[in-house]
Chains A and B, each alone.
Chain A
Amino acid sequence: MKLDSALTNSRPPQYRGTKLSTRHLNLFYGPCQALRDITLDIPERAITAIIGPSGCGKSSFLRIFNRMNDLIPGARVEGSVELDGIDIYHRSIDVVELRKRVGMVFQKPNPFPMSVFENVAFGPRRHGRVSRGELQDIVESSLHQAALWEEVKDKLDQSAFDLSGGQQQRLCIARVLAVEPEVILMDEPCSALDPVATLKIEDLMRRLAEKYTIIIVTHNMQQAARASDVSAFLLMEGDICGVLVEHGPTAELFTKPKDRRTEDYITGRFG
């Protein structure tokens, strides 16, 4: 089977400690419950894939970690979510500081309507005075880390919209890297990209995982199998509410799923 060959490329998971964890997490949008009783540890400096069918709450779950759900009127969180053992929903938490530590890449590449350089410099500029020289260093190293430097070093002053879709997405990754986060959330980052651009992003993720904790939402099973160390399978229970069915090292989850529903899903019997 295709999935098995993909799995041989996957690294064995290395548990280096827990970066993020949720305990009995419930998420409500007004009267509707979107997530129910999710308890999960996210390992540090590894890639965690959140998989599941459309509408099961994957993206809502991802947005828990940088509190993007706060922007939705009526959203309410119960239970605890900890980053390095600190509750990020505590009253004393500064959301802006949190989002510096937990960056996010979106489904559709969303470069800002400005030059390539200014896109990457946007975050650092907002976070205090940086000299032009420092800014140049940050932009260059972020673009290097995002494997984009060679392609754009001669067009830093051009509009970001002139780049291809895959380049735009790597630019968005560079923009996140420029604020030196610890965690990078990726919400189906390749769903708008062609297969070649997708592989580039996956390669990049592998390299970034040596330094950063990455959580990726994907509905592409091959991608989860190829690129992640740990997987978590979310499913709708009833017809509204996302629950965590199963989680564990990707190789195990894909070859020896414990739950029948997981097996059905990854073998493509539904979803």
Chain B
Amino acid sequence: MRTRSNLSRRISQKTAFAVLLTATIAVTAVSLFIIIHIVVRGAAIVDWDFLTQAPTQAGKAGGIFPALVGTFYLMLGTLVIALPIGVLAGIYLSEYAPKNRLTKVINLAIVNLAGVPSIVYGLFGLGVFVLMLNFGMSLLAASLTLACQALAMTITTSREALIAVPAEYRAGSLAVGATRWQTIRHLILPQARPGIVTGAVLAMSRAAGETAPILVVGAAFLMRGLPQSPFDRFMALPYHLYTVAVHIPGMPEDTKWGVALVLLAVVLSFNILATVVRLRARKQRG
């Protein structure tokens, strides 16, 4: 009896282990397959010219330069808008907000902000920035729209990073007569910086990959040149990928994979950057 139950226990242990391992391998295999496939197919066309030339013949020839630059502009615009607001809101929520029902509602709202489908942000941006504020279909309207979406992440990561700073630092600083703001500015914020930066970089990488919102607030199908002002329309990698993959007949297969590869590289490199920032900060703290 005893040995049998031991045996069955060992078998269930082994089975559970096998199931977990299989699940892990499956996940890794899928993402590796996608990445390798895109790299192999896309590498055939991605070269210096592909990155630095404007598209010709409706994207069938030439490069993707305006889309690449447009995506960087969008990331930059998102960062410039979403980071300061995110940090300020994070400071308020972590350091100043009273612990009452209103604060709870605000926190809940921020969490929900992250769950709103991206096309809804797009329509919100169309209604508010494009039409109501009359920014038109433009880089500015798109940056603002993506920034709204990114806020959930920049606020949350800033708040978490600030809360994680030990309370003894705050007490020690106040006890030598520093004001609350001085304590935040000179002691708490520097400690929270890696966490805040990580959140900002991840938010940028998400902005780089979004298609639906920019579709309705200003991404252009094809442009020969770069946007000259924030009120110009723009090209962007994800939307460009969508059009070359779906809308243009006779598009060479290599071009589609090439665009996908560049987009993937941009997004992945920002994700890796975020990881590096986080790991370095952890190592420094010891």
Interface on A for B, CB 8 Å cutoff?
A: 66, 68, 71, 73, 96-100, 103-104, 106, 108, 110-113, 122-123, 125-127, 161, 172, 175-176, 178-179
Contact = CB atoms under 8 A, between A and B. Distances in A.
A100 B98 contact: no
A172 B182 contact: no
Interface string B161-194: 0000010110111111111001000110001000
Given A122-B178, A123-B178, A127-B177, A161 B286 contact: yes
Q: Is the interface of B mostly helix, strand, loop or mixed?
A: helix
Interface in B129-181: 166, 168-169, 171-179
B281 to A, nearest CB: 11
A126 B186 contact: yes
Given A73-B99, A96-B179, A112 B173 contact: yes
Q: Kindly name the residue among B99, B172, B174, B182 whose own CB sees the greatest number of chain A CB atoms within 10 A.
A: B172
Interface string B81-112: 00000000000000000110000000000000
A123 B176 CA distance: 6
26 contacts: A68-B171, A73-B98, A73-B99, A96-B177, A96-B179, A97-B177, A99-B175, A100-B176, A103-B175, A104-B175, A106-B171, A108-B168, A110-B166, A110-B171, A110-B172, A111-B172, A112-B169, A112-B187, A113-B169, A122-B178, A122-B187, A123-B178, A126-B176, A126-B186, A175-B172, A176-B175
Nearest to B183: A126
Which 6 residue pairs spanning A and B have beta carbons closest together? A100-B177, A123-B176, A110-B168, A104-B175, A99-B177, A126-B178
Contact of A126 (B171, B182, B285): B182
Nearest to A125: B186
Nearest to B187: A112
Contacts of B174: 68, 71, 99
Contacts of B166: 110
Contacts of A68: 171, 174-175
Contact of A112 (B99, B172, B182, B286): B172
Interface residues of B, number: 20
A177 to B, nearest CB: 10
Nearest to A110: B168
Contacts of B182: 126
B177 A179 contact: yes
A179 B174 CA distance: 12
A106 B172 contact: yes
Contacts of A127: 177
Contacts of B169: 110, 112-113
A96 B174 CA distance: 8
Contacts of B177: 96-100, 103, 123, 126-127, 179
Given A99-B175, A179-B177, 19 more contacts: A68-B174, A68-B175, A96-B177, A96-B179, A99-B177, A103-B177, A106-B175, A110-B166, A110-B168, A112-B169, A112-B187, A122-B187, A123-B176, A125-B186, A126-B182, A127-B177, A176-B176, A178-B176, A179-B176
